[in-house]
Structures are given as C-alpha cells and as structure tokens.
Amino acid sequence: ACERAKIIKDNPVNLIKENLGELINTGVKTYQPVVNADETVMCFMQNQKFYDAIMISYKKDGQWTTPTNISPQIGSDGDMMPTAFSADGTELLLVQRTNSSNGNIFYSKKNDVFWGKAEKLGRNINTMSDEDHASFSCDGKSIIFSSARKGGEGELDLYISNRLPDNTWGSASNLGPKINTEKSETSAFLTAKD
C-alpha cells in the first residue's frame, strides 16, 4: 500500500471539482451517483425522512433538473441502490441488500414516461452468495458484475454475462486470475475506446 501511495503521489491526476448546486445538494445526505455515457441522466440516493430514496435528474440546457423520486416506480423501499445506467440512460442496474447483507442485482427500464418496476436478474447473475455491483458494457450487450459465488479466485470476483436474444442474461464467466485476486474486486465500469 505504501509503494502504491508513492506512485499515486508522484503521478497526480488533475481534477476539476464542481458543485452540482442546490437542486441536487439539498443539505441532506446524497450519495451513490451514477450517470449515463453522455452525462445527461443522473441517478443517486438521497436520505429522506423514513428511507433513502432513488432520485433521478436530467441535464437540460446544461443544467440539472429538479430531481424526481423514482423509488415508488421502481418498487424500492430504501433497500435498493443504483449501480449503473445503460449508455442511453434508459436502463438501470441496481443492487438490493437483504437482511443478511447479501446483495442481489435488479434491472429497471424506462418507457416514455416512467421507470418500470425493478426485476431481479435471473440465476445466471444472482446466487445465494453476495452480488455486490453491476455495470453495462458500452453497447449494452454485456454486464460485468461482482459476486462471491463459489469457484472464484477470492472473496468478490468480477464476472461477465452476455445479453441473450430474449433480453435475459446468459451464463456468467469469471474474468480470471489476471483480473481477480484472493481479495475482493467490485465496482467495475467499462468505458468506450477513444
């Protein structure tokens, strides 16, 4: 860790921080943001009086719109969190935590107006073990997700599953020892090649 810290210190990354304004940052706990590929749709968690809500905002004319609580549309009572959008911002992956802390991955799709009720992805994705995070490939034909299922390299491993013609997800393949270690790998994202 110390050696990596030295490398990071010697190779700083220039970042520009910009507050998203009072419409997004209202003074209550706001966390877990995800954006689509062209950064025109943003989903995040916001602490409400009795639960944590899934909020969504759209960028119009360079400004974020007033966030809308989509928890009722998706069917979350505060137990789901967004993990990734499809590139066009019409599909959303979420993780749901159960009482035993094991996560399951859910999917919601937006029609013209509303987000559909989140549906648990099938057994090729969700197991009796912890599924912790998922993200779409740039073309939406695959998802990469983390799972603690048996047969992996370590604790949480990264797996890939391809979308089938019937819009379900195929068998998951472990990304192997070049990616996965004996520790946990999670929160992977893919970006488009330049």
* Residue 97 pLDDT exceeds 80: no
Asked if residue 169 lies in contact with residue 125, where contact means CB atoms within 8 angstroms, the answer is yes
> Poorest-confidence range of 18-22, 64-68, 112-116, 174-178?
18-22
Query: Hey, what amino acid is at 48?
Result: Q
- As separate numbers, helices (DSSP H) first and strands (DSSP E) second, the chain gives 2, 13
d(CA 151, CA 46): 36
Tell me what pLDDT residue 25 has: 87
**pLDDT (0 to 100) of residue 158:** 96
pLDDT digits (tens, 9 = 90+) for 25-64: 888 999 999 999 999 999 999 999 999 999 999 999 999 9
Task: Output DSSP code: residue 164.
Answer: P
Do the beta carbons of residue 104 and residue 93 sit within 8 Å?
Answer: no
What residues does 158 pair with on adjacent strands?
146
Q: Using an 8 Å Cβ cutoff, are 70 and 81 in contact? A: no
4 phi and psi angles, rounded to 5 deg: -65, -40
Q: Beta strands 131-136 and 52-60: pairing type?
A: unpaired
Q: Radius of gyration (Cα) for the chain, nearest Å?
A: 18
What is the tens place of the pLDDT at every residue in 127-185?
Answer: 999 999 999 999 999 999 999 999 889 899 999 999 999 999 999 999 999 999 999 99
What's the pTM value of the predicted model, to 2 decimals? Answer: 0.89
Query: How far, in Å, CA of 132 to CA of 157, rounded?
Result: 10
Res. 24: pLDDT tops 70: yes
Is residue 58 classed as helix, strand or coil in its secondary structure? strand
- The contacts of residue 150 (CB under 8 Å, 6+ apart) are 129
pLDDT value, residue 101 = 65
- Report the pLDDT value the prediction gives residue 144, as an integer from 0 to 100: 96
Q: Choose from 2-11, 21-30, 100-109, 116-125 the range with maximum mean pLDDT.
A: 116-125
